[in-house]
């Protein structure tokens, strides 16, 4: 079967980690017709906008996208490309598996967490204004509809993937109405899934528990801002941003991406670690039904990481992006 997928290589190291990932997907025997589009700083330079119409049309039509990191110009009045894509296509669930990879140095072992973040509202609704000079206001929107939808997503995911418990993370002790509603929706949904355990944690305590012993938690359910922060914290538990990927999922569209940014400090040095981008591709292949190929790629990645002979400098190795990726391809083709 041939898949038509929208590809956003992104800025900075984006193209450097995208190129080998496409080769790896091809080596695993998946037939993809890529529709490649710029977004972010590169698109602004070429098309005068960070999110060109052609890209939006391509994703609207194909429904699946693989995206590298993009640089959003700071303080120039441009909305975040990521926030805009998530809101435009109603990609309401941000799913980030946090799991140790063999051979990847990490602060903890045996971590196996799923972070489920509400992606469309909360403090990222983008409703900010100046009340009077020197006083700014940002509105936090929490709705019953979006909170119930994301809670259902977390419980359905838990049920479909053999997970034992979901913890709703909030600050309802202070934000009694907004976070209170989020928590109440989670409780209402939890009641319909009696086989999945449910609990809740105040977000500061959740951060403490995560750094004390992340193996005690399972599926984490968070609204937008807490999810953004806690998911990066969680990535740090298993080796950092370079080895974690995420999916942005809606009812009709899905976008897969590495967690890291465009890493301008190592751009062009040919040492970017493509692991997170490869993991994003693995999640994407699973999603489009290419489970065998996804498994093959993941197994090859694990083997190469475990052997540790061809690792990029961020993993204490001395290999280039290409050497690392070529070793994975050889492993797939064995």
Q: How many residues bind ligand NAI (CB under 6 A)?
A: 21
Strand, helix or coil at 95?
A: strand
CA dist., res. 325 & res. 24, Å (int): 7
Q: How many CB atoms lie within 10 A of CB 87?
A: 18
Report the Cα–Cα distance between both ends of the chain, in Å, rounded: 23
CB of 155 to ligand NAI, least distance (A): 27
Q: Does 261 bind ligand NAI (CB under 6 A)?
A: yes
- How far is the CA of 283 from the CAs of 18, 25, 167, 280, 290, in angstroms? 15, 12, 23, 5, 10
- For residue 108, indicate whether it is catalytic: no
Identified binder of ligand NAI from the candidate list 113, 263, 279, 293, rule CB under 6 A: 263
Interacting positions 79-98 with ligand NAI (CB under 6 A): 82
- For residue 228, indicate whether it is catalytic: yes
Specify the stretch interacting with ligand NAI by CB under 6 A; choose among 64-72, 83-91, 92-100, 213-221. Answer: 64-72
Lookup: tokens for 122: 């909360």
Residue 324, class by beta-carbon neighbours within 10 Å (0-12 exposed, 13-18 middle, 19+ buried)? buried
Nearest to 166 by CA among 200, 213, 119, 204: 200
Q: What x-and-dash track marks residues 11-30 binding ligand NAI by CB under 6 A?
A: --x---x-------------
Identified binder of ligand NAI from the candidate list 237, 272, 282, 293, rule CB under 6 A: 272
- For residue 193, indicate whether it is catalytic: no
Pairing status of strand 135-138 against strand 245-249: unpaired
Q: Does 262 bind ligand NAI (CB under 6 A)?
A: yes
* Residues annotated as part of the active site: 124, 171, 204, 228
Residues that bind ligand NAI (CB under 6 A): 13, 17, 69-72, 82, 241-242, 257, 260-266, 272-273, 276, 314
């Amino acid at each position: 079967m041939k898949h038509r997928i929208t590809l956003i290589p992104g800025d900075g190291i984006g193209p450097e980690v995208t190129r080998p990932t496409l080769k790896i997907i091809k080596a695993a025997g998946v037939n993809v017709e890529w529709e490649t589009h710029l977004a972010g700083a590169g698109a602004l330079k070429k098309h005068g906008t960070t999110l060109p119409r052609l890209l939006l049309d391509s994703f609207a039509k194909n429904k699946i996208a693989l995206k590298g990191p993009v640089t959003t110009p700071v303080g120039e009045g441009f909305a975040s490309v990521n926030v805009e894509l998530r809101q435009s296509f109603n990609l309401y669930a941000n799913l980030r598996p946090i799991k140790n990879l063999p051979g990847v140095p990490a602060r903890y072992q045996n971590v196996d967490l799923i972070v489920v973040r509400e992606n469309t509202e909360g403090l990222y609704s983008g409703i900010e204004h100046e009340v009077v000079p020197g006083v700014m206001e940002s509105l936090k929107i929490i709705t019953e509809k979006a909170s119930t939808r994301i809670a259902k997503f977390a419980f359905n995911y838990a049920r479909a993937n053999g997970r034992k418990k979901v913890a709703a993370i909030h600050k309802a002790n202070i934000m009694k109405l907004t976070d209170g509603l989020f928590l109440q929706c989670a409780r209402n949904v939890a009641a319909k899934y009696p086989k999945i355990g449910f609990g809740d944690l105040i977000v500061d305590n959740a951060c403490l528990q995560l750094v004390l012993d992340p193996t005690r938690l399972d599926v984490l359910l968070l609204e937008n801002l807490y999810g953004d922060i806690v998911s990066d914290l969680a990535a740090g538990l298993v080796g950092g941003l370079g080895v974690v990927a995420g999916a942005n999922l809606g009812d009709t569209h899905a976008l897969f991406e590495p967690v890291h940014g465009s890493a301008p400090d190592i751009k062009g040095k040919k040492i970017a670690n493509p692991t997170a981008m490869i993991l994003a591709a693995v999640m994407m292949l699973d999603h489009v039904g290419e489970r065998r190929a996804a498994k093959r790629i993941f197994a090859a990645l694990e083997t190469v990481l475990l052997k540790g002979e061809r690792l990029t400098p961020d993993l204490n190795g001395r290999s280039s992006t290409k050497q690392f990726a070529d070793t994975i391809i050889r492993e797939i083709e064995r």
